[in-house]
Structure 1
Amino acid sequence: MNLIADFLNSGIRMTTPILFAAIASLISARAGILNLAIESKVLAGAFVGILAAAAFGNGWAGVAAAALTGAVLGLLMAVAHRIGVDLVVLAIGLNILVLQLTVYLMRSYLGGVGTYAPEIDRLPEVGIPLLSDLPFLDHLTARLNLLVYLSLATAIAVALYFRTRGGRHLLAVGEAPLSAAASGIPVARTQLLALVAAGAVAGIGGAFLSIGDVGLFTRNMSADRGWIGITAALLALNRPALVVPAAGIFGFASAASIRLQTLDVPSNLTQFLPQGAAFVALVLVGVHGRLRGNVARLWRASTTLSLRSRPAPSSPAPESSTKTPQEIP
């Protein structure tokens, strides 16, 4: 029973950074922007977060610094988008730059290349009152800090925000920016705020990796979690109601990969499990999009045929403007 609880606990902790990344991708996508720089924001948040936690001696200061770092990167993307820079090229450049910059800073100033482990206190565990005292749930809720619950609260908050006036404006900008601008919605400002918020959320996901979970930073600590978060958002069709189970698929796949390494299972197979889940998810998204496109085309075709099959309305015969002269008796 404890093994099951430990596995579920590991899956929840593995899901948390992926969920933050997926929410960040979802916010950007619903604003009409393809944000492929989530990976760099997660990695930058993990690195700056642990530096700030070590400098201030407070883990929450590290979380705030990580969120600020992600927001700054999001602001950079918003400005670049405003002046017409290709965001795909910029995102690839940011992902490479942040990875190499963290390696350089670790080698030059932190006295190492692979790992930076300062003496800091990880974020405190937050148990659920009464439930944490039960035999099964005590293992299930172990090592869960406030960021785990914050990730779930963020998904709920985004879903509720989309029902507000500001959220409707954001969705309108993502669906039809020209129509939104014509109706008076500030498109540029809405997209800027969306990218800044997405960057902050991704940065908090990085802080969970370094401060909330293990208390150290390793090279390439994000380990493609930003990309997996983008995939989870695509699998959820960019809907907040589906993003939590979508991220959970990848989180529990990663937890299963770690558990299988303790058994007589080839390591290549266990390491492929999360990437395999991502591949299957992308295939499902592609199939769904293709089927949805086919249904839309069939609907348009049937509508066109039904309109063509209707008989044209007959116009009344025009009355003669000349009258027959009456015969004179």
Structure 2
Amino acid sequence: MMWWADFMNSGLRLTAPILFAAVASMLSARVGILNLAIEAKVLGGAFVAILVTAATGNIVVGILAAAAFGAGIGWVMAMADRLGVDLVVLAIGLNMLMLQATVFFMRAFLDGVGTYNPDIETLSAIEIPVLSSLPFIGRVLNGMNILVYGAFFASFAVAMFLRTRMGRHLIAVGDAPAAAASAGISVKRTQLRTLVVAGAIAGLGGAYLSVGDLGLFTRNMSSDRGWIGITAALLAVNVAAYIAPAAMVFGFAASASIRLQEFGVPGSVTQFIPQGAALVALILVGVRSSSRQSLLQLWRRSSRIRWRSKSPPAKSGVTP
């Protein structure tokens, strides 16, 4: 019983960065933007968080800096969209740039290439007295840091926000921008604000990885969690109520890949479990026609690259 409790507790911890990324991806999609730069925001947030925390000695300032960094990338994407830049190409470039930039700064200024390990304290665990008295549930839900609880609260808060008047305006911008503009809603301003907020949320996911969990930064520390967050949002069909369960699928898959090694399962097999879960999720997204159409619609709005469709063959012969 305790093994299961520890497994579930580990799964919730591993869900946190994926959930932050999934909420950011879902928010962007609901406003009509295919945001593929989530990975850059998570990785950059992790790097900025540990740099600022090491420089100031204040972990809260580091976390806020990570959120501000992610918000800044969101602002850049919103401005680029106004200028007619292809957001898909821009996002791919940002992901590549962030990966190489973190390596460059570690090598040039931090006397390292693979790991930066300053002397800082990570976020302390929160002990909730009510949960401590519960034998199984308490072991599952208690003793996590504030960013883990914050990830689930963020998904709940976004779900509640989308039910408000401003949230319905956001959805209207994503579903029918022309109709929203005719109703007096500023489409570009709504997209700007949403991308900034989504970037800040993704940056918090990066902060959890560096200062919330390990207290260090390693090369490519995000390890595709931004992409997995996008996959989780697609699996949840960008519905806020389904975001947390979809992210938990990947969080518990990652936990299983770690825990199964205790039973002698080779690491080469267990490492495939999270990627296998992502592959199955993408297959499910591809099978659902509504999911395919939603993704294609986001692509058309965010990218200037158009898929060429085959034209029907011309009929031969002479019409009588």
**TM-score scaled by structure 2?**
0.88
User: Superposed, which structure 2 residues align to 1:224-263 within 5 Å?
Assistant: 224-263=224-263
The residue type paired with residue 97 of structure 1 is: L
d(CA) in 1 for partners of 2:132, 2:285: 38
Q: Report the AA paired with residue 261 of structure 2.
A: Q
Give, in angstroms, the shift of residue 53 of structure 1.
0.9
Aligned pair count reads 293
**What's the CA shift for 1:138?**
5.1
Amino acid at match of 2:177: P
Judge conservation of contact 1:127–1:141 (CA < 8 Å) in 2.
Answer: no
Change (3 A) 1:266 1:83: same
Note closer, same or farther for the CA distance 1:245–1:174 as it changes in structure 2 (3 Å cut).
Answer: same
Name the counterpart of 1:6: 6
- Please give the alpha-carbon distance, in whole angstroms, between the structure 2 residues aligned to 1:183 and 1:135: 54
- The AA in structure 2 aligned to 1:192 is L
Q: Which residue is equivalent to 2:170? A: 170
Residue in 1 aligned with 2:274? 274
Amino acid corresponding to residue 217 of structure 1 in structure 2? F
- 1:291 to 1:68, Cα distance in 2 relative to 1, 3 A: closer
Aligned equivalents of 1:41, 1:153: Cα separation in 2: 20
Look up the match of 1:21. Answer: 21
Cα shift at 1:30: 0.1
- Gap change, CA 1:290 and 1:236, over 3 Å in 2: closer
- Residues 137 and 292 of structure 1, relative CA distance in 2, 3 Å threshold: closer
Residue 255 (structure 2) pairs with residue 264 (structure 1): no
Summarize deviations over 1:271-328 as a string: whole Å, max 9, x none.
Answer: 11111101111111122226997xxxxxxxxxxxxxxxxxxxxxxxxxxxxxxxxxxx
Regions of 4+ moved over 3 Å: 133-139, 290-293
Contact 1:53–1:61 (CA<8 Å) still a contact in 2?
A: yes
1:124 is matched with which residue?
A: 124
Q: Distance in 1 between matches of 2:9 and 2:52?
A: 27
C-alpha deviation, 1:262, in angstroms: 3.1
Q: Does 1:62 align with 2:62?
A: yes
**Any residues of structure 2 matched to 1:1-329 within 5 Å, and which?**
1-137=1-137, 139-141=139-141, 143-289=143-289
SS in 2 for 1:130: helix
- Structure 2 residues not aligned, in runs of 5+: 294-320
Q: CA deviation at 1:126?
A: 1.0
Distance (whole Å) between structure 1 residues aligned to residue 148 and residue 181 of structure 2: 37
SS at 1:238 equivalent:
coil
Does structure 1 retain, via aligned residues, the 8 Å contact 2:115–2:217? Answer: yes
Structure 2 SS opposite 1:113:
coil
Instruction: Report if the CA contact (8 A) 1:15-1:247 is conserved.
Output: yes
**The structure with more radius of gyration:** 1
Change (3 A) 1:33 1:292: closer
Q: How big is the shift at 1:183?
A: 1.4
1:102 is displaced (CA, Å) by: 0.2
Displacement of 1:238 after TM fit? 0.4
Q: Which moved more, 1:109-118 or 1:198-207?
A: 109-118
1:86 Cα offset (Å): 0.3
Q: Output the amino acid matched with 2:217.
A: F
The SS at the match of 1:148 is helix
Is the 1:132–1:141 contact (alpha carbons within 8 Å) kept by the matching residues of 2? no
Q: Summarize the Cα distance change of 1:114–1:255 in structure 2 as closer, same or farther, 3 Å threshold.
A: same
Distance across 2 between alignment mates of 1:270 and 1:26: 29
How many percent identity over aligned positions?
62
Q: Taking structure 1 as the reference length, what is the TM-score of the superposition?
A: 0.86
